[in-house]
Amino acid sequence: MVDLWGVEKTYANGTQALAETSLTFNEGEFISLLGPSGCGKSTLLKMIAGLAEPSNGKIRWWNHGLDQVGGPGRKMVMVFQDATLMPWARVGANVRLPLELAGSKGPEADRAVADVLKLVGLERFEQSFPRELSGGMQMRASIARALVTEPNLLLMDEPFGALDEITRNRLDGDLRELWAKKKLTIVFVTHSIYEAVYLSTRVVVMSARPGRVSREVLIDAPAFGSGARSEAFRVSQEFAGYCKELSDALAQASGEGGVDH
């Protein structure tokens, strides 16, 4: 659904954030972009989102118009590192925002907002202000806002990076369940090996200086559910195996770069 051909990003000051990269994301995948800081994973995500332009190469969305961000009738949404909720608006109004910007109102919008709040477990907090919620709940609201328009592609930029591990694990579990239930396609940026293994169907390992893709690993553990994954996966042999594989790939990649450490 999204193809990148030789995409490259160099900033005006000459820093190369991302070296030539070609990738394909398919419908229904849960892809993690995994790598250390400075490997260009956020830059890559921003270019897919249309928030930044590649200096070189092409991105194609849904086989449509080469230079047209997104595509007709398709929706891409992004969840940022911070919850980025509007502090002056209640949770309900925050979640409703994308609908209102698109011009839909009335009972249909009400229902969509209620449904999505229920989906993320915030149905009792529609009337709360964002500051009254914990960090994890704010992130849930942010995800609800992303899902309310029923997007074809969900882009997430280290959404749980600022949360404590316990909350993060719980949100990871819920996110994976949501992905299965709503048949989402997700591109997820993270620097946590465990998070990448637990969540993904495919992990794209990236390395820094310059940022590039060094390896792709398919995560397949049908024993723990091909949709929602059970918590048991986290302590299984398979999990440990994948973690080892990714960790080796990361180490090898930074060795190849040979500049740092």
Partner 1 sequence: MLRVAAPLMVGIVLLALWQGIVVSYNVPKYLVPSPLAILHALIDDWALLSDSLLVTLKITLLAFLMSILIGVAVAFLFVQNRMVEMSLFPYAVLLQVTPVVAIAPLIIIWVKDPTRSLVFCATIVALFPIISNSILGLRSVNPGLLNLFKMNKASRWQTLTRLRVPSALPYFFGGLRISCGLSLIGAVVAEFVAGTGGTGSGLAYQILQAGYQLNIPRLFAALFLITITGVLLFVGMVVLSKLALGGWHESELTPET
Nearer of residues 78 and 196 to partner 1, judged by Cβ: 78
Nearer of residues 1 and 217 to partner 1, judged by Cβ: 1
The upper half-sphere exposure of residue 47, i.e. CA atoms within 13 Å in the direction of its Cβ, equals 29
Q: CB of residue 82 vs partner 1: minimum separation in angstroms?
A: 6
Place of tokens 């949100």: 171
- Provide the Cα torsion 62, 217, 151, 48; round to 10°: -60
Instruction: Take residue 209 and report the two structure tokens written for it.
Output: 């200086």
84 binds partner 1 (CB under 8 A): yes
SS3 state at 82: coil
Contact flags string 32-61 toward partner 1, x per CB under 8 A: -----------------xxx----------
> Judged by CB under 8 A, which stretch of 18-26, 77-85, 115-123, 246-254 contacts partner 1?
77-85
Site for partner 1 in 135-154 (CB under 8 A): 149
101 binds partner 1 (CB under 8 A): yes
SS3 state at 246: helix
Instruction: Take residue 249 and report the two structure tokens written for it.
Output: 């790939």
* Separation between Cα atoms, residue 251 and residue 213, nearest integer Å: 13
* Separation between Cα atoms, residue 155 and residue 68, nearest integer Å: 18
Contact flags string 185-204 toward partner 1, x per CB under 8 A: --------------------
73 binds partner 1 (CB under 8 A): no
* Residues near partner 1 (CB under 8 A): 49-51, 76-78, 80-82, 84, 86-89, 97-98, 100-102, 129-131, 149
